[in-house]
Copies of this chain bind each other. A is one copy, B any other.
């Protein structure tokens, strides 16, 4: 699964640490999700989408292996 968190952060101009704070997880959790190392829960995906005023589907997308 791929995601556009980096782009969304750039648009809102916030750091990984700030995003982590906004959705109440550790900075490392944001970092590893952003770099595709692991898949967040749906609750976390919904919270991230809410921060960026968009949909989960607009941030996360399935790819071949999934």
* Cα–Cα, bound, A46→B60 (Å): 8
- Residues of chain B within 8 A of A62, CB atoms compared: 43, 46-47, 50
Size bracket of the A interface = 10 to 19
* CB atoms of A57 and B66 under 8 A apart: no
Tell me if A21 counts as interface (CB < 8 A to partner B): no
Which residue of B41, B46, B56, B66 is within 8 Å of A47 (Cβ)? B66
- Residues from chain B with a CB closer than 8 A to the CB of A55 are 55-57
In the complex, which residues 18-63 of chain A have their Cβ closer than 8 Å to any Cβ of chain B?
39-47, 49-50, 55-57, 60-62
Residues in chain B near residue A1, CB distance under 8 A: 42-43, 46
**Chain B nearest CB: distance from A63 CB in Å?**
10
